[in-house]
């Protein structure tokens, strides 16, 4: 049977459950995910030679990582060619591209340093999201926006302001809003003597960053919270309560990363609560394995629940979703493709649920039937719809894309220094 024939058969099966597969496929085509550039080179970037800092960690030594802007762009292209649909590119400030001798420190970054990325995105009809980089820098060895050292704090404030200007440049050049996410690693390994003052300084720094004039319809500034980092196990300045309150009171967005909570807390449950109080909301989807390990996103239960909360609450246009993982132990292009496709599969799975019917069962307290049905739905011919969607988008279905990654590894990646 062809993919189209299998799809027709799946369509009938879903139809008997009251689900319109054509509609699901069309909706999925319009879900744009922000693909993080930093999976391609283990968060290294191009503006410094030092190690990754900030309490985050890549592990593994898989050969072939991108070492130049050209290599990273080639790898992104390869990945995108195997991912169905249209997406956005998520850049970090440390991916600035300097022409010969034109180095600018983080506080002096300008749109010109990202012109090549704009050209890249323009040619592909993509938007760009952006992140100031408050780590992997000699001035980020201890604290950044909450530093007690005024000179250091001011340096990072200037960095945040520069990044807003660059974000607006992206939005204007590409005709799509730019989501700019602020995350700082600041925190203490051991029990602090003062938990308030660092947060007060962080609050003031954010006020100053946001005090510059910018167009809020073009740049959506977000604030990402975190519970701990390596070497910052006892206290993080940008805790969940700090970030949610700051965002709510200052007209910016909250960003929830599902690796940044206690292990039994789930972001899927936080989404509907946040939606009741926020017009828009941002997410980093990742996979924390025992800690904030940033493993590749799988088609697992929590990823499905996250997608369900977005879909059944009619929030596709209200949630900015980016991926955030960095696995250096496997082929990095495969990591991107698996993670992106899994996020899309989770959305498709959510779109193929008879959500109204399930809600009705809940409201009528018919929990026996609700459980039974949710379980049976897991074995519906979901894969046939997925493969049809891939075909419609002109990318290989099933595992058929992997051969191309192997080929690329052989021809390109294995020849890198």
Which residues would be at the binding site for ligand RNT (CB under 6 A)? 38, 43, 56, 131, 183, 224, 226, 257, 284, 292, 324
Residues 120-149 binding Zn ion (CB under 5 A) are none
User: Of Zn ion, ligand RNT, none, which one does residue 296 interact with (CB within 5 to 8 Å by kind)?
Assistant: none
Instruction: Tell me if 255 sits within 8 A of 284, measured CB to CB.
Output: yes
Considering CB under 5 A, how many residues would be counted as binding Zn ion?
Answer: 3
Q: Which residues pair with 281 in a beta bridge?
A: 319
**87 in active site:** no
Please say if 257 is a catalytic residue.
yes
84 or 132, CB closer to Zn ion?
Answer: 132
Q: What's 317's DSSP letter? A: T
CB-nearer residue toward ligand RNT: 43 or 178? 43
304-363 positions binding Zn ion, by CB under 5 A:
324
Interacting residue with Zn ion among 42, 129, 257, 292 (CB under 5 A): 257
Binding-site residue numbers for Mn(2+) are 260, 292, 294
Q: Is 48 noted as a catalytic residue in this protein? A: no
Contact 125, 175 (CB under 8 A): no
Catalytic entry in 78, 139, 226, 270: 226
Minimum distance from residue 131 beta carbon to ligand RNT (Å): 5
Which residue number, 121 or 184, has a Cβ lying nearer to ligand RNT? 184
Respond yes or no: is residue 284 known to be catalytic: yes
131/240 with CB nearer ligand RNT: 131
- Provide the minimum distance between the beta carbon of 384 and ligand RNT in the complex, in angstroms, as a whole number: 35
- CB-nearer residue toward ligand RNT: 126 or 285: 285
Catalytic residue among 113, 159, 260, 295: 260
The four Cα atoms 295, 300, 301, 302 give a dihedral, to 10 degrees, of 30
Query: In the complex, what is the shortest distance from the CB of residue 226 to ligand RNT, in angstroms, rounded to a whole number?
Result: 6
Distance (Å, whole) CA 337 – CA 297: 10
113 is catalytic: no
Whether 218 contacts 172, CB under 8 Å = yes
| Binding-site entries | 260, 292, 294
Whether 65 is catalytic is no
Instruction: Given the residues 42, 47, 129, 292, select the one marked as catalytic.
Output: 292
Q: Is 284 in the site for Zn ion (CB under 5 A)?
A: yes
Choose the binding region for Zn ion from 4-12, 282-290, 355-363, 393-401 (rule: CB under 5 A).
Answer: 282-290
Closest distance to ligand RNT from the beta carbon of 81 (Å) = 24
Q: Is 159 a catalytic residue?
A: no
**CB of 370 vs Zn ion, minimal distance in Å:** 33
- The whole-angstrom separation of Cα 339 and Cα 298 is 6
Q: Where are the beta strands (DSSP E) in 162-261?
A: 178-182, 187-188, 219-224, 235-236, 253-257
75 contact, one of ligand RNT, Zn ion, none, CB 5-8 Å limit per kind: none
* Active-site residue identified among 324, 327, 384, 409: 324
User: Active site includes 92?
Assistant: no
Distance of CA 213 to the CA centre of its chain: 26
- Closest distance to ligand RNT from the beta carbon of 36 (Å): 7
Give the integer Cα–Cα distance in Å for 35 and 38.
9
Half-sphere exposure of 402 (CA within 13 A, CB side): 6
Name the burial class of residue 396, with classes exposed (0-12), middle (13-18) and buried (19+) by CB atoms within 10 angstroms of its CB: middle
The question of whether 226 is a catalytic residue gets the answer yes
- In a 3-state reduction of DSSP, which class is residue 111? helix
User: What is the DSSP track for 37-95?
Assistant: GGGTTTT--SS--S---SS-------S----SHHHHHHHHHHHHTTS-S--EEEEEGGG
User: What angle, 0 to 180 degrees and rounded to 10, lies between the N-to-C axes of helices 196-210 and 240-250?
Assistant: 30
Which residues in 318-334 are b (16+ Cβ under 10 Å) and which e? bbbbbbbbbbbeebbbb
Nearer to ligand RNT, 169 or 325 (CB): 325
Q: Kindly state the DSSP code that residue 296 receives in the 8-state scheme.
A: P
* Binding-site ranges for Zn ion (CB under 5 A): 257, 284, 324
- Positions marked catalytic: 183, 224, 226, 257, 260, 284, 292, 294, 324
């Amino acid at each position: 049977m062809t993919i189209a024939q299998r799809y027709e058969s799946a369509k009938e099966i879903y139809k008997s459950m009251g689900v319109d597969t054509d509609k699901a496929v069309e909706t999925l085509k319009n879900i744009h995910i922000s693909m993080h550039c930093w999976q391609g080179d283990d968060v290294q970037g191009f503006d410094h030679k030092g190690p990754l800092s900030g309490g985050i960690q890549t592990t593994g030594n898989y050969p072939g990582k991108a070492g130049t802007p050209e290599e990273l762009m080639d790898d992104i292209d390869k990945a995108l060619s195997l991912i169905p649909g249209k997406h956005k590119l998520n850049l970090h400030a440390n991916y600035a591209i300097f022409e010969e001798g034109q180095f600018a420190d983080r506080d002096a970054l300008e749109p010109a340093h990202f012109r090549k990325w704009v050209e890249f995105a323009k040619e592909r009809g993509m938007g760009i999201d952006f992140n100031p980089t408050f780590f992997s820098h000699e001035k980020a060895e201890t604290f950044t926006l909450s530093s007690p050292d005024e000179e250091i704090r001011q340096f990072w404030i200037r960095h945040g302001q520069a990044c807003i200007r660059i974000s607006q440049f992206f939005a204007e050049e590409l005709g799509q809003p730019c989501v700019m996410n602020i995350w700082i690693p600041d925190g203490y390994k051991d029990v602090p003597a003062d938990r308030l003052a660092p947060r007060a300084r962080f609050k003031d720094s954010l006020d100053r960053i946001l005090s510059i004039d910018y167009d809020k319809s073009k740049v959506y500034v977000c604030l990402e919270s975190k519970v701990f980092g390596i070497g910052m196990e006892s206290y993080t300045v940008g805790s969940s309560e700090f970030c949610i309150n700051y965002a709510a009171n200052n007209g910016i967005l909250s960003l929830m990363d599902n690796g940044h909570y206690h292990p039994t807390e789930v972001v899927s449950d936080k989404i509907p609560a946040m939606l009741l109080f926020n017009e828009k909301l941002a997410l980093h989807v990742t996979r924390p394995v025992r800690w904030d390990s940033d493993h590749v996103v799988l088609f697992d239960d929590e990823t499905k629940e996250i997608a369900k909360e977005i879909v059944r609450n009619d929030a596709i246009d209200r949630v900015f979703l980016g991926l955030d993982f960095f696995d250096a132990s496997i082929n990095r292009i495969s990591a991107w493709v698996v993670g992106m496709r899994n996020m899309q599969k989770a959305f498709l799975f959510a779109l193929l649920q008879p959500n109204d019917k399930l809600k009705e069962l809940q409201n009528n307290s018919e929990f026996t039937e609700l459980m039974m049905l949710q379980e049976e739905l897991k074995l519906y011919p979901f894969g046939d719809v997925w493969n049809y969607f891939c075909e419609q988008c002109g990318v290989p279905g099933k595992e058929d894309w992997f051969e191309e990654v192997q080929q690329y590894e052989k021809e390109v990646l294995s020849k890198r220094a």
